[in-house]
A = this chain, B = another copy of it.
Amino acid sequence: VVSNATLQRFYQEVRHQTLRLTENLSVEDMVVQSMPEASPAKWHLAHTTWFFEEFILRERDKNYPRFDERYRYLFNSYYEAAGDRYPRPDRGLLTRPDLSTVLRYRAYVDSCMEVLIAAGMHDDISQEHEFFRDIIVTGLHHEMQHQELLLTDILHLLSFNPLFPSLYRAETPASPRAGALTMQTCGGGLVPVGAREEGFSYDCEKPCHSVFLQAYRLARRAVTNGEWLEFIDDGGYRNPLLWLADGWETCQRNNWQTPLYWRQVDGQWHQFGLDGLQALNFAAPVCHISYYEADAYARWAGKRLPTEQEWEHALANAPVEGNFLEFPYWRPQACTTDTAENGIAQAYGDVWEWTRSPYTAYPGFKPERGPLQEYNGKFMANQFVLKGGSCVTPKRQMRATYRNFFFPHQRWQFSGLRLAEDA
């Protein structure tokens, strides 16, 4: 059980971290919405605050005075049980409340929350107490998810700007093409998958259950930009036999020819990122690709994508280390481990890795009780699982059992791939 002091520090760190991410953003950057699936940074600031107001402060005390009654409607994301919502595709039209008001909203809720957490220290360890403490922890993990989304959405927005804005200056080390890709053999059998009860995890990671795996091999590092270029040069984006039917249709309709943020300047490949337009790093993992592209690449390479169970089983005991949000680069970096050797490198951080597993319920899955029943379960159709986190994922959020999920056509996430094959 987490102590109140620990919870207080956790709360402060996460809330502070969110604000820190917006340091180099202009007021204008923070209000605009670049597509229906993305949200303005200002909205992320407000919605994560709304979570605490709606699910903690208000639930615990019906007399709690909201900062503004109308925010209940404005900043609900998708919780049907929490009432009507302002339409998602129009979030970018909300020029009011302005940024400074939203910052005051955060401060107001923070002070209420800190009083609440502090007061909790003297409480009995009642069941209700535990219930709210759990939701606070969930709210902080929820906010960490939005930290990643905030940066991901800002990158998408800035990518439309012909001025190629950059949020920070990076001294990226030049890297040669990566060394040869080798495969690590993993044994199969009846293995446990999913989160045990200790520690934080989402409902969709549970229960821990047995699955039967056949022996398999997993690539020791992610696929690189250099390798992706070979796929392009070999006509990968023009050969329908490499693609899923839905993928080929999507590829044609959108005229995909490269990953999302690649640009050719004077005949040289570049990649737009949060540090602006940079020469393509051939040794870094390919990023901002859809599931369809990942799947086509794997077929072209004579391999396949791993299942989420294979990924999780192989990494079950590995330390969670990698290039995360806290590190200086918000751009995937070349793998520095010698991957000719044993072991699996680069599993955490850098890029989310598409698995071939549709996002579905584990056997015995029970949705969270109470207000968070809609958090995961209702998205269990048409999406695929990604594992391992990216260079804009908070490290604290990551674990082997974590299941991220996106639609197979989506490319604005920091998504890449790792190859697998039958043993």
Could you tell me if A95 and B381 are in contact, using CB atoms closer than 8 angstroms?
no
Give the contacting residue for A211; candidates B80, B212, B422; CB below 8 A.
Answer: B212
Q: Which residue of B lies closest to A378 (CB)?
A: B245
A408 touches B382 (CB 8 A): yes
Cα A89 to Cα B367 with chains together (Å): 41
Interface pick from A177-185, A256-264, A358-366, A394-402 = A358-366
Contacting pair B32 A422 (CB below 8 A): no
Number of interface residues of A (CB under 8 A): 66
Q: Are B162 and A214 in contact (CB under 8 A)?
A: no
Determine which of B73, B212, B245, B360 lies in contact with A212 in the assembled complex, contact meaning CB atoms within 8 Å. B212
Please give me the residue from chain B that is nearest to A154 by CB atom.
Answer: B95
Contact of A247 among B32, B73, B247, B381 (CB under 8 A): B381
Contact of A244 among B93, B214, B381 (CB under 8 A): B381
CA distance A380 to B157 in the complex (A): 32
Query: What's the number of copies of this chain in the assembled complex?
Result: 4
Please measure, in the bound complex, the distance between the C-alpha atom of A183 and the C-alpha atom of B162, giving whole angstroms.
50
Q: How far is the CA of A420 from the CA of B357 in the complex (A)?
A: 22
Report yes or no: A360 in contact with B363, Cβ–Cβ below 8 A: no
A214 and chain B: residue at smallest CB distance: B363
Interface residue ranges of A192-247 to B (CB < 8 Å): 209-214, 240-241, 243-247
A31 contacts the other chain (Cβ, under 8 Å)? yes
* Interface residues as binary, A26-38 with B (CB distance below 8 Å gives 1, 0 otherwise): 1111011010000
Partner of A245, one of B78, B95, B364, B422: B78
Q: How far is the CB of A3 from chain B (nearest CB, A)?
A: 35
A212 partner residues in chain B, CB cutoff 8 A: 190, 210-212
A295: chain B residues within 8 A (beta carbon): 381
Please report the C-alpha to C-alpha distance between residue A356 and residue B361 in the assembled complex, in whole angstroms: 9
Known: A92-B32, A157-B95. A381 touches B162 (CB 8 A): no
* Surface stretch bound by B, among A96-104, A105-113, A338-346: A96-104
Question: Are the C-beta atoms of B381 and A246 separated by less than 8 Å?
Answer: yes
Digit string of A382-394 for contact with B (CB within 8 Å is 1, else 0)? 1000000000000
A163 contacts partner chain B, Cβ-Cβ < 8 Å: yes
A381 to chain B: which residues have CB within 8 Å? 244, 246-247, 291-292, 295, 408
Q: Which residue of B lies closest to A101 (CB)?
A: B26
The verdict on A81 contacting chain B, using a C-beta distance below 8 Å, is yes
For the complex, give the distance between the alpha carbons of A29 and B97 in Å: 10
- Specify which of B95, B190, B304 is in contact with A26 (CB 8 Å cutoff): B95
A90 proximity list for chain B (CB < 8 A): 160
Nearest Cβ distance between residue A397 and chain B, in whole angstroms? 22
Within 8 Å of chain B (Cβ to Cβ): is A165? yes
Q: Which 8 pairs show the lowest CB-CB distances between chains A and B?
A: A358-B358, A28-B95, A80-B240, A28-B31, A93-B160, A27-B27, A245-B378, A29-B95
Extra contacts, 13 of them, besides A94-B160, A95-B157 (Cβ < 8 A), are A29-B96, A31-B32, A32-B32, A34-B93, A86-B162, A90-B160, A94-B161, A190-B190, A190-B212, A245-B379, A295-B381, A357-B360, A381-B408
Give chain A's interface residues, CB within 8 Å of chain B.
Answer: 26-29, 31-32, 34, 42, 70, 73-74, 78, 80-81, 86, 90, 92-99, 157-158, 160-163, 165, 190, 209-214, 240-241, 243-248, 291-292, 295, 304, 356-358, 360-361, 363-364, 373-374, 378-382, 408, 422
